[in-house]
Structure 1
Amino acid sequence: MSGIFIRFIRRLIISIQEILPKRVLSKLVQKIAESETRIVKNTLIKLAIAYFKININEAISPNISSYKTFNHFFTRQLRDGVRPIDERQNSVCSPADGTITQFGAINSTEIMQAKNINYSLKKLTQDTDMTNRYINGNFFTIYLSPKDYHRVHIPFKAKIVSHHFVPGELYSVNKNSVDYISEIYNKNERLICEFISKDLGYFSVIFIGAFLVSGIETVWKCHHDYEKTKGRRIDLSGTQMEFEKGEELGTFKYGSTIILLFQNNKIAPLEKFHSSGNNIQVGKRITTTIDSTSV
């Protein structure tokens, strides 16, 4: 198959996405995924396990009948010890299971989306002060496919500073979309969670919504609560809410993307640990604080 034909097909898929009623379809799929009808949810779970090759034996309950809905299965908890957390003091851990699609330095206020495609840090954060904190910092982009574990954990011990739900589109964030749709992460709805730590300073964990993924929840708020405050940064520093490294932050209902932002001169050179395309799991070291590159 020629390269020209492949590019044509990819662009055709993108064009179809443009005209699809993405939010309506996402809500319809979510309604089905929340069905408690036994034959519906069990059939969906069996199909997902077979098609995506999901290792159900990692789950607390490998019995599909124990899940009330497909979403309950998709956001399943794992058994203790299945995702050990790197306990070395200066290790920064992966917040999710998935694939590291991009990582590296933030070029002033530009972040790499794909080869020859960058996107704006300012548009991503929707906040001038926050943008200024991450100028020339570092980032990770981690894609969660439907087969991956869908709970998100904090990469380092820290206190929460704020969250900000930014409404937007629901484009698919698979490789084809990321390679062809400019500023895709800035177009999609997202939840920006910022934290502060003694060793890392400020850092952010950003949940990117996607096609069929209009449900992002955290341990402190559900998706419907975010809808009420959309477009506004909510200061949470007064809550003194603190998370230990590896503690759960929230869930995705299907698959999507996590973006991590770090300030300049806070973490070790990333090439020491990774190359793009690496698969990663929750709790695995993805980098270290700046003074521990030899650890």
Structure 2
Amino acid sequence: MRSVTGAQAGTAAGMHRSHESPELPTLRWRAALSLLKRLPQGALSRGFGRLADAPIPARMRPAVLGAFARAVGADVAEAELPLEAYPTLNRFFTRRLAAGARTWPSDPSVVASPVDGAVGQLGTVREGRLIQAKGRLYEVAQLLEDEAAAARYEGGSFITLYLSPKDYHRIHAPVGGEIREARHVPGWLLPVNAPSVAHTQDLFARNERLMCHVDGPMGRVAVVAVGAYNVGRISAAFDRAWNAPPGENAWVTNRRGLRSAARTYDPPVRVNRGDEVMTFHLGSTVVLVFEPGRVELLPSLVVDQPVRLGMSIGTAR
């Protein structure tokens, strides 16, 4: 099984050395992150969420949303609807793609990217740890908030995919199978950009997250959606009753008073590869973790490489 490529700065063993020094961001970024840790991230993000939900007059939507799209580099030609059809910034951000904008592999043994984004880190789960950034490791048990579930992934592959504001923000199943377990873990809402990932220990295991496990021909696959600063909402398409408030613009995460909650499904929720499973409402990062001996990530994948929804990222072993 592959771990990381030479282009990713060495072997997996080298990447997992605990004494390797992290590459720290600039002093300005470190100061900003230190300040943000002390601020009420949830409240600030909910405030930004209210702004993102503010109705935009129909005649102003092309100008306002067009300016946002140009600022972040979003391709409006791939959107399902014209700009005037999106009543708020959030509804544009969670836009669906136009028919035919993405394709999925015909080979059932292929693992497909669940999102548009870029590769963060990838490798092998060793001694229960994943790579966050150079010199920064974190525990898969903390990420999943489940020791028993984490034990199943020891020696398996993982990949982190970062979504920037320009990207399509719906998350799809990378493999087909059944969802029997899911979990929501409240937490921080720190940024997940490169400076924050390099500087903040255990960032992905501390930020708020929504996850599900897909059981199928490729074993169990953990799909972990990690929230981030500014809104921090994640909705569940595999369990729409979990979302609140009622309606299309509803979500699971970043609501006052929530505690960690696990759900089980009997009968399980069936998903095909490519089915929508979650949505980011402004955010963030997806971590995929595979059981050992089941999936080999493509040797051509490297850190910062762009990926598109449906693109092959691995194959069944």
Q: Structure 1-normalised TM-score?
A: 0.90
Q: Secondary structure at the match of 2:286?
A: strand
Q: Secondary structure at the match of 1:142?
A: strand
- Residue by residue, what CA displacement relative to the aligned partner does 1:107-153 show, whole Å, maximum 9, x if unpaired? 12010000011001111111121011111211110000000000100
CA positional deviation for 1:6: 6.5
2:286 pairs with 1:258: yes
Partner of 1:211: 229
Partner of 1:276: 303
Partner of 1:16: 35
* Structure (1 or 2) with the greater helix fraction: 1
Q: Retained in 1: the 8 A contact 2:213–2:222?
A: yes
List gaps (5 residues or longer) in structure 1: 291-295
Partner of 2:313: 286
Q: Distance in 2 between matches of 1:5 and 1:116?
A: 10
Partner of 1:234: 263
Q: Classify 1:138/1:5 alpha carbon distance in 2 versus 1 (closer, same or farther; 3 Å).
A: closer
2:66 pairs with 1:46: yes
- Residue by residue, what CA displacement relative to the aligned partner does 1:168-205 show, whole Å, maximum 9, x if unpaired? 010000000000000001110101211100x2111110
CA-based RMSD of the aligned residues comes to 2.0
Q: Distance in 2 between matches of 1:157 and 1:177?
A: 33
- Residue by residue, what CA displacement relative to the aligned partner does 1:49-108 show, whole Å, maximum 9, x if unpaired? 1101211011111x2111121111111111111110112121000000001110110112
Q: Secondary structure at the match of 1:239?
A: strand
Q: Classify 1:278/1:6 alpha carbon distance in 2 versus 1 (closer, same or farther; 3 Å).
A: closer
The one-letter code of the counterpart of 1:232 is A
CA positional deviation for 1:46: 2.5
Q: Retained in 2: the 8 A contact 1:165–1:229?
A: no
Partner of 2:10: none
Of residues 198, 214, 220, the one that matches 1:202 is 220
Q: Distance in 1 between matches of 2:286 and 2:140?
A: 15
Within 5 Å, which residues of 2 pair with 1:19-98? Answer: 19-38=38-57, 44-61=64-81, 63-98=82-117
The one-letter code of the counterpart of 2:202 is E
Within 5 Å, which residues of 2 pair with 1:40-189? Answer: 44-61=64-81, 63-189=82-208
Instruction: Count matched residues.
Output: 283
CA positional deviation for 1:232: 2.5
Q: Distance in 1 between matches of 2:127 and 2:66?
A: 47
Q: Secondary structure at the match of 2:295?
A: coil
Q: Structure 2-normalised TM-score?
A: 0.84
Q: Distance in 2 between matches of 1:131 and 1:29?
A: 34
